[in-house]
Amino acid sequence: MPADAHSLYEFFYTSQLDPQTSPTVVGQILSTARPHNARMGVSGLLVFDGLRFFQHLEGPRAALEPLMGRIVGDIRHQDVRILHEGVLLQRRYHRFDMGYAQTDDLDALAALISLSGVPAVERFLHMRAGFDIQA
């Protein structure tokens, strides 16, 4: 395993909920992901607008890369697009292992899709203050 496999890393992605899947599946996703992510040292925030997911994940690269592989292969997700990935110097999420928020602000989230890299993450982090985050 490369020396940087355990360094702090981040992924920020968006995807769409499969049209054949009920939005209630989000609760199932969270109930499975939270204990797994806690064991693997992964933290972050999942935002869902009823159609699209936006998720910012951080943790050891060795844990995040297989996690992203599972997300990409999950039939509940369509059109998975990684907006940013890279080395992270320090965690941004300290209060919870996987926070969750729903939002009706479709325009603000839609604007994120046109961004990539650090500007996409920065916009999402700026929006975070307006989310009602559930731990």
Mind listing the pLDDT tens digit for each residue in 49-97?
888 999 999 999 999 999 999 999 999 999 999 999 999 999 988 766 7
The 8-class DSSP code of residue 19 comes to T
Mind listing the pLDDT tens digit for each residue in 18-30?
999 998 898 888 9
Phi, psi of 56, deg, nearest 5: -110, 120
* Domain coordinates in residue numbering, the chain: 3-128
CATH annotation of 3-128: 3.30.70.100
| Secondary structure class of 34 (helix, strand, coil) | helix
pTM to 2 decimal places: 0.88
> Where residue 1 falls among pLDDT bands split at 50, 70, 90?
very low
Residues 31 and 25: their CA atoms lie apart, in Å, by: 10
| Secondary structure class of 81 (helix, strand, coil) | strand
